[in-house]
């Protein structure tokens, strides 16, 4: 199977700092990949390069088998790659439907917004990703939602944009256990529809539960690519990380 996105030997420097050093990875269709590593390992730099915020100094970005040139955020969105950043992207005073369609409204030929169509579509998407509460529908203000549900709205927007790959940057960092579980349910539903997720997290237990595969970054290097079968528990994954960083001398 052809990966939906691939980075090959990507290097990114900031002045004297090499944030990414010859990093290679891929994401296949319908898989959840967990990206982990210590503070400063290069996780954010990697995803920002992948979604076109940073221009790599070296290396290739390959989309569905085609090497791309002058990669940028616009091209990334056209390639159906969407990034969900923690909270920032939503307007809490507005409804779910408003937040999903923001800037990309469905309009009649004379410019009026297709209000009913948008509400129907928003309701369809939020049910699809797993909103089950009868108290929540497209017209609910985002400000009334819990943290996990807000992540769900951000994911719903990515789905409205028909994302093949959704990049989640630390989606559970500020959340309680129950809210984290909600985000996991959303991610699992997204995956069940054949979409892919790149999940960045600090909490190994969170990343472990949700991911099919792990990529470990250490000081700009991709040091490990592991299947969940290779590391059967989060503790084992933590051990692999520790052994890598300390050279096995811990
Ligand atoms: N815009 C920038 N300008 C200069 N240096 C940067 C910039 N962005 C990142 N760096 C440096 O690159 C290295 C990797 O940073 P990055 O933010 O990618 O790490 P991270 O794995 O996301 O860390 P964290 O877990 O703390 O978010 C760090 O040494 C950081 O200081
Ligand atoms: Mg970061």
**C-alpha 44 to ligand 1 mean position (Å):** 7
**Ligand 1 within 6 A of CB of 40:** yes
pLDDT of res. 11: 97
Residues 6+ apart with CB under 8 A from 199: 32, 33, 34, 35, 168, 171, 187, 207, 210, 211
pLDDT of res. 1: 74
- Closest ligand 1 atom to residue 20 Cα is 14
pLDDT of res. 242: 85
**C-alpha 122 to ligand 1 mean position (Å):** 36
- Closest ligand 1 atom to residue 46 Cα is 18
Q: Domains in the chain and their CATH numbers? A: 5-90+165-246 (3.40.50.300)
Ligand closest to CA 40: 1
pLDDT of res. 147: 87
Contact 167, 200 (CB under 8 A): yes
pLDDT of res. 170: 85
Report the predicted TM-score, pTM, of the whole model to 2 decimal places: 0.90
Distance between CA 106 and CA 109 in Å, rounded? Answer: 10
**C-alpha 43 to ligand 2 mean position (Å):** 5
Extended strands (E) in the chain: 5-14, 17-27, 32-36, 58-63, 66-67, 81-85, 165-169, 196-200, 213-218, 221-227
Residue ranges for the chain with pLDDT beneath 50: 248-250
**Ligand 1 within 6 A of CB of 44:** yes
pLDDT of res. 250: 44
Ligand closest to CA 14: 1
Distance between CA 237 and CA 82 in Å, rounded? Answer: 28
**Ligand 1 within 6 A of CB of 215:** no
Residue of 10, 16, 19, 200 to test ligand 1 pocket, by largest number of atoms within 8 Å of CB: 19
What is the dihedral angle through the alpha carbons of 30, 236, 35, 67, rounded to the nearest 10 degrees?
A: -70
**Ligand 1 within 6 A of CB of 34:** no
Q: For residue 76, give both structure tokens.
A: 């990334």
**C-alpha 85 to ligand 2 mean position (Å):** 11
pLDDT of res. 85: 72
- Residue 27 CA from chain centroid, whole number: 11
């Amino acid at each position: 199977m052809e990966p939906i996105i691939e980075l090959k030997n990507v290097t990114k420097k900031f002045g004297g700092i090499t944030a990414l050093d010859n990093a290679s990875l891929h994401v296949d269709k319908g898989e959840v990949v967990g990206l982990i590593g210590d503070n400063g390992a290069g996780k954010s730099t990697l995803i920002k390069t992948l979604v076109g915020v940073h221009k790599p100094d070296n290396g290739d970005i390959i989309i569905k088998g085609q090497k791309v040139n002058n990669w940028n955020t616009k091209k990334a969105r056209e390639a159906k790659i969407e990034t969900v950043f923690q909270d920032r992207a939503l307007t809490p005073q507005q409804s779910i439907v408003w937040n999903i369609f923001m800037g990309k409204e469905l309009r009649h030929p004379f410019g009026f917004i297709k209000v009913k169509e948008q509400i129907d579509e928003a309701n369809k998407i939020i049910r699809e990703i797993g909103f089950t509460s009868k108290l929540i529908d497209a017209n609910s203000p985002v400000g009334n939602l819990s943290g996990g549900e807000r992540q769900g709205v951000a994911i719903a927007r990515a789905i409205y944009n028909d994302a093949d790959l959704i990049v989640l940057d630390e989606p559970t960092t500020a959340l309680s256990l129950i809210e984290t579980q909600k985000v996991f349910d959303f991610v699992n539903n997204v995956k069940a529809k054949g979409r892919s997720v790149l999940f960045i997290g600090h909490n190994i237990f969170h990343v472990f539960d949700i991911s099919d595969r792990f990529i470990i970054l250490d000081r700009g290097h991709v040091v490990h690519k592991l299947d969940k079968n290779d590391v059967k528990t989060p503790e084992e994954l933590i051990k692999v990380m520790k052994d890598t960083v300390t050279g096995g001398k811990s």
